[in-house]
Structure 1
Amino acid sequence: MKQTLLISLFFLISIAVQAQTLKGRVVDAATNDPLEYVSVYLNTTTRGTTTNDKGEFALAMPAGTYEVIVSSLGYEPLVYTAPTDSMPSAILFKLTPKAQMLGVVEVQGKRDAQWYDNLEVFKENFLGRSWIAKGCKLLNPEVLTIDFDHSSGVLSVAARGPLLIENSLLGYKVEYLLTDFTYRTKEGYVTFEGYPRYELMQGSKGKQRKWEKNREAAYRGSAMHFARALQQKRLEQEGFNLRRLYRLPNPNRPTDEEIAEARAHLRANGNTTTIPDSISDILRRARLPRFVEQLDMNPVPYSEYLTLAEGKARLSFEQFMQVVYTGEQEEPAYVRSTSDFLKGATARKPTFQTSVFSLQADTVGVEPAGNFLNPLDVLFEGYWSWEKVGDMLPLDYQL
């Protein structure tokens, strides 16, 4: 007992020593006047503050590398990457007024039924469709500008101000500074970028216990859980199985040239003549997937994809990695979303949560808090791609 206590005390003291305080001022870039009530926070955490009447602030930071977000209504936000091991004693932030705010009168137009339909599509692909995400409420949808291009099938969403989200099942109020949202409906591909700030909701002891239970459920098996376990080389102990996944060209699918020629032949001859068996066969096999997958069932040694140096972790690998979390099964809503064409007894049963991820860069850094340094350098498929903002936890969350 004494030994355990001493180790725990040493760990707490180490964190306190490594923690830093970022100090600075925020001014108007044009006038150099101090800006009051500017929001300064660590991206995807509950840690934040606001400037005083002199534009000054002080923000405590745990050890690590974080994005400091400086945001105020009517100004372009600033993002400052701050590593606590080489942080300046003070910093001056200059905010630039947004161009559309300079003398522009906003005309409130009437939103039609299509806008509200697109809003629901946005919420499903931004907040999510899990049981936790269903408890999220977007409080200010009026700040959204939604555009859907029918020819390309691309849904684009922008926001004139931070999105205010209430997550009643996890007990968070979220202020999300959305910088980009693109949903390519034809490819089923969603990307979004932004900077959320979390605030703990107040509630009774009963609500607090329920929120803690739900937060743990959201954490278990998440990409954050995986990244933290990866840092400690504890994937198997934490319930993760990682295997290499290869995607190879499907030998049974015709080439793009063969498919184009077959379709040109069909257009040229119309439906008045009998389609040759060779053309019919090409068009039939054109519906086959482009790639076939091969899963290597052998465990992948950490040395083949992970490097740890001076407390910093980096990922580097080719092709794809499949991650199976054995601690929980898939949600029924996820099963339905992946097997809509199946009905009744033929519909598949939930199994362990399975995700696939790949790297879009040669190497990707992983922070101890459980975040990837450049999120767009990591592509998620499967279960992790299904979970959205409604399932996310702040980086300073701990079990």
Structure 2
Amino acid sequence: MRYLRLVILLSCWLGAAVAAQAQGRITGVVQDSVTHEPLAFASVFLANTTLGATTTEQGTFVFERVPKGTYDIVGSYVGYRLSKQNITVGAAAQQVTLRLASSGPQLSEVVVHADAHQEDNYRKFTGLFLGGTTFSKQCRIMNPEDVDVAFNDTSKTLTATTPNFVQIENTALGYRIKYYGLHFDYNTETEASGFDGQTVFEEMKPKDDQQRRQWAANRVAAYNGSLTHFLKSVYDNQVTESNFLAQQVRLVQPLRAMRGEQLLKKKKGAFTAADRDSMRVWDELPAIAQLNPAARPIDSLRRVSTDGRTFLRFTNELQVVFFGEAPDPGYTQPMSPIGPVSAKSPTKRQVSRLTLLAPETEIQPNGTLANPLDVVSGEYWGFQKMGEFLPLDYAPPVAVAAPAPTKQAKAK
């Protein structure tokens, strides 16, 4: 989806109006959780956005013109633990009090034990955390000395944490990202990885107008085909118009196992040891994914409540295909769906999977989820990491008046 080489002027993109959104105002104060004394010059930010502030000498802060939606507002201060509250921004002003607890006394001496594999562990962490896309290769951790990496031989788990934040510079998209409270885990046996924390974005200053246009084009490319783009298309009832195809995936038992279970159910008398062994083997057989090739109608993807709120809602799993852009050169898995898609653009497509862990989850107007943990994404969406990470308040141009730029194969 990425790796743009600017070959045309994009001034018409940059002049395009951004979709109007309802906005609200947030005011508040940051205090010590015990004494309730204000904390001057503390950092306050809306997680995963470019919206940040520093408190006054009285510990107060203000956010003006915040786009409508649900956010985690986070307070940070040296010597204190992070404080976080979930808020929903609407037309009415929000008043927030963040109380930070002391992180406790600091050790006067730190004993460092040599680890012959420390460099390898750190390299493994950065590869999994930053990702392998062309944009990810243009990301760099600016304070590696603040990242604690360790490997547990018993659990076969690689972990990475930071006492304050890890700062990433993404020179492909033009953002500096501070990732507070990072906790990263990777199991070498299952190859499952995950990380969480609270992030704030800062716009980097372009060196010239060409770089400014390049960053704008790259951000559009990072957005196109993303999970946020798909959810926005569901919210707006523009799935087909946005070049997405959503199909239902159903996991079923192998036919042989189903027929065997049916025969055993008809059997009279107690099961023999051989019967139980057969059932155990059938239980261990992997389920087979079956695809309904028809596009899912919008009413099978979302529910709109009487008060106008929109909820993502579907059964089983979804296969989501985005047409018109080829996958990243770094994506080595076969870009082939489990069933036929369309002759519309057979070579230029990105195939992802989406699982809903709750009966339904609310979609915000900008395409984000009120609770991102309600969904699990896989395949192509699972491949994209820090290189494609955009702030929640990013809004792509309303209309593109110029052809899409070509892609570059070489990262800086």
Relative to the length of structure 2, the TM-score reads 0.77
Q: Distance in 2 between matches of 1:51 and 1:190?
A: 36
Q: Aligned-pair distance for 1:237?
A: 0.7
Aligned partner of 1:358 in structure 2 is 355
| 8 Å Cα contact 1:65/1:81 also seen in 2 | yes
Where does 1:39-54 land on structure 2 (aligned, <5 Å)? 39-54=43-58
Q: Aligned-pair distance for 1:289?
A: 6.6
Q: Aligned-pair distance for 1:123?
A: 1.4
Q: Aligned-pair distance for 1:351?
A: 5.3
Partner of 1:362, secondary structure, is: coil
Task: String of CA shifts for 1:335-365, please: whole Å, max 9, x gaps.
Answer: 26999xxxxxxxxx97521100101122212
Alpha-carbon spacing, 1:108–1:367, altered in 2? closer, same or farther (3 Å): farther
Q: Aligned-pair distance for 1:238?
A: 0.7
Q: Distance in 2 between matches of 1:236 and 1:97?
A: 51
Partner of 2:331, secondary structure, is: helix
Alpha-carbon spacing, 1:362–1:385, altered in 2? closer, same or farther (3 Å): same
Q: Does 1:59 align with 2:63?
A: yes
Partner of 2:391, secondary structure, is: coil
Q: Distance in 1 between matches of 2:100 and 2:324?
A: 46
Aligned partner of 1:273 in structure 2 is none
Alpha-carbon spacing, 1:397–1:106, altered in 2? closer, same or farther (3 Å): farther
Alpha-carbon spacing, 1:95–1:178, altered in 2? closer, same or farther (3 Å): closer
Task: String of CA shifts for 1:184-229, please: whole Å, max 9, x gaps.
Answer: 3322322221221111110111110111111111111111111111
Aligned partner of 1:201 in structure 2 is 204
Of 64, 88, 96, the residue aligned with 1:83 is 88
Partner of 1:329, secondary structure, is: coil
| 8 Å Cα contact 1:322/1:354 also seen in 2 | yes
Aligned partner of 1:307 in structure 2 is 303
Q: Does 1:291 align with 2:294?
A: no
Partner of 1:328, secondary structure, is: coil
Aligned partner of 1:210 in structure 2 is 214
Aligned partner of 1:384 in structure 2 is 381
Of 363, 369, 372, the residue aligned with 1:372 is 369
| 8 Å Cα contact 1:220/1:327 also seen in 2 | no
Q: Aligned-pair distance for 1:152?
A: 3.1
Aligned partner of 2:99 in structure 1 is 94
Amino acid in the other structure paired with 1:292: I
Aligned partner of 2:133 in structure 1 is 130
Partner of 2:238, secondary structure, is: coil
Q: Distance in 2 between matches of 1:351 and 1:183?
A: 32
Q: Does 1:71 align with 2:67?
A: no
Amino acid in the other structure paired with 1:173: R
Q: Distance in 1 between matches of 2:109 and 2:368?
A: 38
Of 180, 205, 215, the residue aligned with 2:183 is 180
Aligned partner of 2:236 in structure 1 is 232
Alpha-carbon spacing, 1:372–1:108, altered in 2? closer, same or farther (3 Å): farther
Extract unaligned runs of 5+ from structure 2.
1-15, 259-273, 337-345, 397-412
Amino acid in the other structure paired with 2:293: M
Q: Distance in 2 between matches of 1:206 and 1:314?
A: 40
Q: Aligned-pair distance for 1:73?
A: 2.6
Q: Distance in 2 between matches of 1:373 and 1:179?
A: 21
Partner of 1:25, secondary structure, is: strand
Aligned partner of 1:346 in structure 2 is none
Q: Does 1:107 align with 2:103?
A: no
Aligned partner of 1:342 in structure 2 is none
| 8 Å Cα contact 1:332/1:350 also seen in 2 | no
Partner of 1:227, secondary structure, is: helix
Q: Aligned-pair distance for 1:378?
A: 0.8
Q: Aligned-pair distance for 1:110?
A: 5.3
Relative to the length of structure 1, the TM-score reads 0.80
Amino acid in the other structure paired with 1:299: A
Of 328, 332, 335, the residue aligned with 1:331 is 328
Q: Distance in 2 between matches of 1:357 and 1:207?
A: 34
Task: String of CA shifts for 1:151-189, please: whole Å, max 9, x gaps.
Answer: 433222221111111001110011111443222332232
Q: Distance in 2 between matches of 1:93 and 1:251?
A: 57
Alpha-carbon spacing, 1:201–1:219, altered in 2? closer, same or farther (3 Å): same
Aligned partner of 2:223 in structure 1 is 219
Q: Aligned-pair distance for 1:332?
A: 2.0
**Bigger Cα displacement from structure 2, 142-151 vs 74-83:** 142-151
Q: Distance in 2 between matches of 1:171 and 1:337?
A: 30
Alpha-carbon spacing, 1:292–1:174, altered in 2? closer, same or farther (3 Å): same
**Bigger Cα displacement from structure 2, 190-199 vs 146-155:** 146-155
State the Cα RMSD in Å: 2.7
| 8 Å Cα contact 1:228/1:368 also seen in 2 | yes
